[in-house]
Amino acid sequence: MTSCGAPDQSLPAVVAAGATLIEGTISQAGSPVSGAYVRLHDATGEFTAEVVSSPEGSFRFYAAPGAWELRALSPKGYTRGEITAAVGVNRAELVLS
């Protein structure tokens, strides 16, 4: 269970026809990072959603197609990345520095 009320990130994703899914993993030195706060920001930098990464370092967001920024924060470090999401499944890999 997560403190932010996010759904369990380790369950298989169900993607409805026409939906946009941003999913990925967060790692450091080749190992998954669990318990990281992963935030989704829109193209203007506005905060949209937050989830906590699973024990396998997985995260996912359902979003609209377009440009997005991902930011991840954990006691192990911080990272950010950008993705342009299209309808369907979009993968993002985040690596803590």
Residue-range definition of the domain harbouring residue 39: 20-95
Mean pLDDT estimate for the chain: 89
- As for how many domains the chain has, the answer is 1
Q: In the prediction, which pLDDT does 63 show?
A: 94
* Residue 46, domain member (yes or no): yes
* Residue 66, domain member (yes or no): yes
> Which one is predicted more confidently, 15 or 6?
15
* Residue 76, domain member (yes or no): yes
Q: How would DSSP label each residue in 70-89?
A: EEEEETTEEEEEEEEE-SEE
Closest C-alpha to 38, from 73, 83, 65: 73
* Residue 14, domain member (yes or no): no
Q: In the prediction, which pLDDT does 2 show?
A: 43
Q: Which residues pair with 53 in a beta bridge?
A: none
* Residue 2, domain member (yes or no): no
List phi, psi (to 5°) of 95: -125, 120
* Residue 6, domain member (yes or no): no
Instruction: Write out pLDDT tens, residues 44-86.
Output: 999 999 999 999 999 999 999 999 999 999 999 999 999 999 9
* Residue 41, domain member (yes or no): yes
What is the domain-level CATH number for residue 75?
A: 2.60.40.10
Q: Which of 10-19, 28-37, 53-62 has the lowest mean pLDDT?
A: 10-19
* Residue 68, domain member (yes or no): yes
Q: In the prediction, which pLDDT does 1 show?
A: 40
